[in-house]
Amino acid sequence: MKKHLIAAATLATFAGAAFAAPSVTLYGIVDTGLGYQHQKVTGQSSTDELSMTSSVNETSRWGLKGEEKIGNTTVSFNLADKFNTDDGTQADEDGRLFGREAQVSLSGRYGTLTAGRIGALGSSIGTYDQIFAVGDAFDGGDWDVFGLAATPVIDNSLTYQSPKFAGLQLTAQYSFKSNSKADGTEGRSSADRYAGAAVNYENGNFQAVLGYEFIDRSSLDSAPITKDGQLVTLGGNYNFEGVAQVFAMGQYFRGWDEVAGQNYEDLGLTGKGLKGWGAHLGTIVPVAGGDLTAGLYYVDGETGDSAVESGDKASADVQYYGVAVRYVYPLSKRTSVYAGASYGQSKVKNAVAIDDTKTQTTSVYTGVSFKF
């Protein structure tokens, strides 16, 4: 009898160990297509380009993810890298092996804590894509049409996400140094540091998000932007099932480096950065077994008082309009074909370093996405 009990206990032990054994999954997306782009810049000859494109409908990437349950806690990880399908190179310009995401997480009854490199709340990338996934029909724009202010993928970060309560969920992030390859010491004022929080609400077919993101850079006197960056975003969507899902989003930014298709440093200025507001309206409509996505983007901003090489104070106004449409048809659970067209217009006025400039970009494209 005792031998039978021992045997049963041993089998139960191995069964439990097998059930709790860690799992590792290889996953990814391959997205390749052809795109034609016509661009006209004030004072320059127009350009036309037909080229193979990568990451239009989906970002081409591969990754490894896995998890193990230990008691009431789940330990997991996610490693992801972007690549270009047209030439096989890494898409991360800094040469990181896992430039898109490299993180480990602990999850339990009180929420999830994540550490590592990960997309910020307003980056439209990765596990904690909280803002654009809710407020933007394209979840980060369509190819080159976007113009809004966004936050980057951040290094050295801690993220806490609470459990959902009455449809509400809090996500908070902090980075000790948002870019490890930049100057400055991690955790000190000599480095750009990031902090952000987003509150998401979900009730049936309705979703909403309110986010605040902050970049601490006030002590970097030698940098092009010496003012802290602040970004406030409010967005939401409602799904009229079988008819359309409608999106709306607005944002206010100040001390920002790139917005409305313009980079602050490229304007030849140093100082307070760009400030202003942006808005988006969009929809996803089911059509003939696929999804038709359309979006409008508008951004209005200015530099405020900034310095030029002469030391004089100057300012510049920036403005952006964008419209995009894309149709995606699933051939299977893994493979989709797509086609789209877009138009974006970026303006710079009253700048000292450069003349008033208008850049108009028209694009059409088609391609295929494969998920594994």
pLDDT tens per residue, range 271-329: 788 999 999 999 999 999 999 999 999 999 998 666 555 555 567 899 999 999 999 99
Tell which phi-psi region holds residue 45, choosing left (phi > 0), alpha (psi between -120 and 50) or beta. beta
Closest CA to 261 of 161, 362, 148: 148
Contacts (Cβ under 8 Å, ≥6 apart) of 4: none
Which residues, in sequence order, are bridge partners of residue 27?
63
Please state, in angstroms and rounded to a whole number, the distance separating the CA atoms of residues 305 and 295. 33
9 domain residue, yes or no? no
What pTM was estimated for this model as a whole?
0.89
CATH number of the domain bearing residue 237: 2.40.160.10
- Please report the pLDDT score of residue 104 as a whole number: 98
Contact 35, 51 (CB under 8 A): yes
Closest CA to 103 of 92, 113, 93: 113
Look at 94-98, 309-313, 350-354 and tell me which has the smallest mean pLDDT: 309-313
Contact 303, 267 (CB under 8 A): yes
**Is pLDDT above 60 for 263?**
yes
- Please report the pLDDT score of residue 11 as a whole number: 35
pLDDT tens per residue, range 315-344: 789 999 999 999 999 999 999 999 999 999
Alpha-carbon separation of residue 22 from 17, 27, 70 (angstroms): 10, 16, 10
6 domain residue, yes or no? no
Write out the residue range of the structural domain in which residue 67 sits: 25-371
Rg of the chain over CA atoms, in angstroms?
A: 23
Mean pLDDT for 94-122 is 95
pLDDT tens per residue, range 10-65: 334 334 444 456 799 999 999 999 999 999 999 899 999 999 999 999 999 999 99
107 domain residue, yes or no? yes
- Please report the pLDDT score of residue 353 as a whole number: 64
Look at 8-12, 143-147, 350-354 and tell me which has the smallest mean pLDDT: 8-12
Please state, in angstroms and rounded to a whole number, the distance separating the CA atoms of residues 246 and 229. 30
- Please report the pLDDT score of residue 150 as a whole number: 96
pLDDT tens per residue, range 206-250: 999 999 999 998 665 556 787 889 999 999 999 999 999 999 999
Q: Give ∠ CA 364-367-372 in degrees, rounded to 5.
A: 145
Contacts (Cβ under 8 Å, ≥6 apart) of 331: 337
- Please report the pLDDT score of residue 90 as a whole number: 87
19 domain residue, yes or no? no
- Please report the pLDDT score of residue 6 as a whole number: 43
Q: Give ∠ CA 110-234-281 in degrees, rounded to 5.
A: 130
Closest CA to 160 of 124, 122, 204, 127: 127
- Please report the pLDDT score of residue 270 as a whole number: 74
Residue 142 vs residue 187, higher pLDDT = 142
Please state, in angstroms and rounded to a whole number, the distance separating the CA atoms of residues 34 and 242. 31
120 domain residue, yes or no? yes
12 domain residue, yes or no? no
Contact 344, 325 (CB under 8 A): no
- Please report the pLDDT score of residue 227 as a whole number: 83
- Please report the pLDDT score of residue 14 as a whole number: 36
**Is pLDDT above 60 for 1?**
no
52 domain residue, yes or no? yes
Query: Tokens standing for 95?
Result: 């040469």
Average pLDDT, the chain: 89
- Please report the pLDDT score of residue 7 as a whole number: 41
- Please report the pLDDT score of residue 18 as a whole number: 40
* Percent share of the chain, pLDDT over 90: 73
Domain count for the chain: 1
138 domain residue, yes or no? yes
